[in-house]
Amino acid sequence: MNDLEFSYLSLDAPGNDELDAFARACPDGSAYHLAAWRRAVADAYGYPGQALVAHRAGKLLGFLPLSAVNRPLGRPRWISLPFCDLGGPLAALPQVSEALAARARMDVGGARANGLELRCSHEDALDEAALAGRKVRMLLGLPDSAAALMQSYPPKLRSQVRKAEKNGLTSEVAEGASAVAAFYDVYSRNMRRLGSPPHSRAWFDAIHRHYSAAGDMLIVIVRHEGMAVGAGWVLLCGDKAVIPWASTLADYNPLAPNMLLYWTIQSQLCERGVRQFDFGRSTYGEGTYKFKKQWGALPVALDWREWDGQGVALQAAPIAVPGAGGGIKSNLRPMIESAWQKLPLAVTNSLGPRLRRYITL
């Protein structure tokens, strides 16, 4: 790969549309690889984005999307990509992906960054022993119609979807600022219940602005007597889709809003020609993993790796559980979550985004 030509492409430079088209056509491309994600990160949190691009004889062969994430009192860190499960190099050939990663490791020091993090997906299927304790993506192949999708479900799953409808729940694909507002109300309340700081409303406004421009997103709202009790936000890239955020109000969970939410999302995607649905990150074998598995989704291990500012690997193996932490940090977490749950919603919605900007998971 000595004949590759590398360059860095900023978000305001011509050429990002070509990268987006490449991502949509690439089997490994995801909605996170689109320039819209880097633009939202820059708009909402001020972290500049760029792409390391590889050409040969003028032909685009691949690119590596990057955001420079600032840390308090420290130098920025290159992450591909922050606030999501998946980034890393996207290329027509494995050798080009490897060359892009190697070039980024070489350049990170010269850019005065304190390190590099690539969030990739494992190429090889792993057995249960290898998946134990790891974070995985849950992927589902979709048929070409909602009717075929419903027929593919086990009888118990079909009855759970019908139960939600019998309980008086309705679902809709919503658009515009009112959809973002309804989503954020459910999302922020659920995050407080979980004891976790939420993203800012400005973050979701930025996501909406950049993804809706090309029709690469949809918001689904589940209602009970007109009130939003569940919400999901889906991003699209060609014939692939991912759901980064889904929430329900706990008081209404006995009515099964999650079942109607995920059924509506999947049925809508089928009709829009989407053929792969990514349910997002879970820990293998745990609760959210089992929920996603019941829909037929299969696990694919995440492969996150880190290097320091000199391009030296910080761990001998892929990060098994991204962001899991350890020691004192893990011991304090339940206490911090409990305290957060007791704060008023207005406080968590104001304070949370100030913390969330430094939590890149």
CA atoms within 13 A on the CB side of 20: 18
**For residue 325, what pLDDT is reported?**
38
Residue 109 confidence (pLDDT): 84
Q: Is 338 exposed, middle or buried (CB count within 10 Å of its CB: 0-12, 13-18, 19+)?
A: exposed
Residue 257 has pLDDT above 70, yes or no: yes
Q: Helices 176-194 and 201-212, interaxial angle, to 10°?
A: 140
* pTM, entire model: 0.95
What does the pLDDT look like over 116-146, one tens digit per residue? 999 999 767 678 888 888 999 999 999 999 9
> Which of 72-81, 235-244, 335-344 has the weakest average pLDDT?
72-81
Answer yes or no: are the C-beta atoms of 244 and 84 closer than 8 Å: yes
**Confidence at residue 191, expressed as pLDDT on a 0 to 100 scale:** 98
263, 193, 253, 190: which is closest to 224 by C-alpha?
Answer: 253
CA–CA separation, 125 vs 118, rounded Å?
A: 20
- Digit-coded pLDDT (tens) for 323-356: 433 334 567 889 999 999 999 999 999 999 999 9
What pLDDT is stored for residue 72 in this prediction? 82
Domains and CATH numbers, the chain: 5-121 (3.40.630.30), 143-274+332-352 (3.40.630.30)
Question: What is the percentage of the chain residues whose pLDDT exceeds 70?
Answer: 95
**Residue-wise DSSP of 120-189:** EE-SS---HHHHTT-EEEEEEE--SSHHHHHHHS-HHHHHHHHHHHHTTEEEEEE-HHHHHHHHHHHHHH
Q: What is the pLDDT of residues 52-69, one digit of tens each?
A: 999 999 999 999 999 999
Burial tier of 84 (Cβ tally within 10 Å: 0-12, 13-18, 19+): buried
What is the average per-residue pLDDT within 28-47?
A: 98
pLDDT, position 330: 62
User: What pLDDT is recorded for position 130?
Assistant: 83
Identify the band that residue 13 occupies on the pLDDT scale cut at 50, 70 and 90. Answer: very high
Q: Where does residue 232 rank: exposed (0-12), middle (13-18), buried (19+ CB within 10 A)?
A: buried
pLDDT over 60 at 319, yes or no: no
Average pLDDT over residues 151-178: 97
Mean pLDDT, range 170-193, rounded to an integer: 98
By DSSP bridging, strand 5-10 and strand 276-283 are unpaired
pLDDT of residue 1: 66
Answer whether residue 35 shows pLDDT above 90.
yes
In whole numbers, what is the pLDDT of the chain averaged over residues? 94
